[in-house]
Amino acid sequence: MKVFIANFGRENYEWPVCLQRGTIATMNRVDLQKLWAAGDRDAYIDLQMKGKTAAGITPTKAVASRWFNLMTIIAETDGDLWIHREKDQLWWTTSRSSTPTFEPKHETVGEKRDVIVCHKPSEPWSNRNRSGNRLDWNALHPKACEFLFTEGTLQQLRDDYAEYAAALINGDDLSPWHSRPEWKAKIEKAKGKKGVATIFNARQRSAARMAMTAMGTVAGANGQKALHTVKNKDMGFASQQDLEKYLLDLLELQEGLCAITGLALQFDGDHDDVEMLCSLDRIDSAGHYEPGNLQIVCRFINRWKRADGDDEFRRLIRVVRSISDS
């Protein structure tokens, strides 16, 4: 069983329908849906990369590929646990094997696109665990609040977090997690703070730190001769503030995930693993800090990648994953 945290359309506009019908949903623009239905991943990605988001950012190949996968995940899910936060309540359901439906719709929010909505049947949504206790967001452990919420479309939880989520829904004993030192530390740190606002602040701190580092790197790298020639790096943003705004938009576009591995990024001040902190990477390491050549990855990924080509590094990551999955 896989465990997913999900939202349903921009501003969650499809959530009331999912709640009423007992479904999980995602959507594609009509022209993109035709390419998905034909299984033409390359054409889908190319078309996505020709457009821009509402924030004016051109999706990277990795982001466009992830969007292609979203429809597949929803359409094929069966027996998986799905969790959704709606205001102060946590809702959950399990997907069924029934055939999904694909329905045309004109969006009433955002760009008001004509889309095809995929509705995958599920069990009725519930805001109570299997023991009958209400799942109030404010009653959750602050550590759990970090991974039981996503600003993006969906996120699959890794093993340990997935086991916690399943135990929470089952009404099982959560002390094996709550007794851990890092979980206890979150309790102390969360005193006097409230939920999601701390995540937003942490994102802003992360964006400021990455922007400051990039500005400093550019200032110290102008092709001068040292023991070796330092690569020339130009800044394609008028100010640090402009870069920070771009990075915040990029984090939203990447749905808070590492652009290369898909791992959940962690943010300054709300992290428990420094290797998962956001790190700004140039897709083409010989290129500049400019729109279209930036992606945000986990710190350890940036360190491992160094000056390697992006495509080659992604290939090596796939090789490692294929061995670990075998």
Each domain of the chain, given as residue ranges in start order, spans 3-181, 195-325
pTM of the model: 0.76
Cβ-contact 206, 274 below 8 angstroms: no
Q: What is the DSSP string of 110-149?
A: TT--EEEEEEEEBSPPBSB-TTS-B-BGGGS-HHHHHHS-
Average pLDDT over residues 59-84: 92
Residues 25-56 have pLDDT tens digits of: 999 999 999 999 999 999 999 999 888 776 67
Average pLDDT over residues 180-205: 71
Average pLDDT over residues 275-298: 92
- Please name the amino acid found at residue 36: W
Residues 150-183 have pLDDT tens digits of: 877 888 998 899 999 999 999 999 999 999 998 8
Confidence category of residue 95, pLDDT binned at 50, 70, 90: very high
For the 195-325 domain, the top CATH level (class) is alpha beta
Handedness of CA 104, 151, 276, 248 (dihedral sign): positive
Q: 287-297 burial string, b = 16+ CB within 10 Å, else e? A: eebeeebbbbb
Residue 218 gets the label, from left (phi > 0), alpha (psi -120 to 50) or beta, of alpha
Q: List residues bridging with 90 in a β-sheet.
A: 85
- Please name the amino acid found at residue 251: L
Give the position of tokens 């095809």.
116
